Amino acid sequence: MNWGWPFAGMRRESKAAAPLIALSQLGVAAWGGRDAASLTQDGYLRNAVAYRCVRMVAEAAASVPLVTGHEAAAKLLRAPAPDMAGASFLEGVYTQLQLAGNAFVEAVQIDGREGVAALFALRPDSVRPVTDARGWVEAWAVRERRGERLIRREDTGWSPVLHLKLFNPADDVMGLPPLGAARRALDLHNASADWAKALIDNSAKPSGALVYGGGGRLPDEQFETLKSELEAHYSGAANAGRPLLLEGGLEWRPMSLSPAEMDFQEARNAAAREIALALGVPPMLLGIPGDNTYSNYREANLAFWRMSVLPLAEKMAAALSLWLDEPLAGDVEVRCDVDRVPALSVERDALWARLEGASFATVDEKRAIAGLGT
């Protein structure tokens, strides 16, 4: 029996045949917030599974080469800002997109000069939309050390801020973070770790009930004193399993389930699998037991790249293509060079083998299918 519930509404029950102090009230689950700051704190900074999943997706997506035939755009992709490589910049943007459901990139322009001088990623928790009466975003307010800076659209309608987001059916402007959908699994995984640590710190003693063996009912004054002591010293995760000092005819009777009986480890594994799936990482790649979705590691890794990494990289490429058209005064086309992704070499080898055996196709047709041009 865990003492981690409120004692204010605790009922006192007793029977003449079995003098027992029954402390009973069902606790109400408390779930964390779904805002970007809470998910970053509880997920990326406190949960190893969420941290690893976010890093895997961000690093993999940032390793997909983005190429373009536009010289100025290619220069920006290679070095978006001073002392920053393109892969590092993209990794930060992808990380923010997964944690907050939104990512913001500001194009810095120098007065009197055409084009874009640099690209900087803005922290999602410091950016808020400024909308008009219809709900359209007309500017972005960026919180800085000294007040707030307003970035408005230009007269042509182009915005110096690129907003990338994950679809949110409940909000027309801001995106939905993946960990928001897995908030309960995240809380369960974190809380189980807190509970296990507190139990170990308190000698891993089980919980139970206090039985009054003095006959009849425990005097009201003693009952209230006992209730106050339990609330002050034995409630909450930090006091899980803390030993009791008994006196006055009180007897400790263990009643709780053991970790094995409550299938504690499997509950943690189930929560970990749910967190990984929300972030688009097959649990098999993390070594989480109980996942039999794919027959082997190779299939799981290929699914990870095809269903999670490449869609994210292509989303970035398409957004940059449209956004950079106006400031760079040209038709900018940014695309993902999947032929340079080692993880997809198996698919590429299989395609080339099929094309080699396709005697009915011409060389030019084979090159077109392979994406090599004619």
**Closest by Cα among 183, 180, 194 to 264:** 194
Distance (Å) of CA 50 to CA 71, 132, 293: 38, 36, 20
Cα dihedral value 266, 267, 268, 273, nearest 10 = 90
What's residue 14's pLDDT? 47
- CA–CA dist 204, 198 (Å, integer): 8
Angle at 369 (CA atoms; ends 317, 339), nearest 5 degrees: 45
pTM reported for the whole predicted model: 0.76
For the chain, 374 residues long, the average pLDDT of each consecutive 10-residue run is: 42 48 55 87 93 96 94 93 92 96 92 82 94 91 92 92 94 93 92 80 59 64 74 65 60 58 75 94 88 80 93 96 91 91 78 72 71 63
| Residues 6+ away with beta carbon under 8 Å from 110 | 117
Please report the DSSP string for 143-156 in residue order.
EETTEEEEEEPPTT
pLDDT at site 246: 57
Residue linked to tokens 């198996």: 346
Residue 84 is classified by DSSP as B
Continuous segment of H or E residues that includes residue 210: strand 208-212
pLDDT for 257 = 53
| Closest-CA residue to 131 (of 109, 100, 153, 110) | 153
Whole-number pLDDT of residue 252? 62
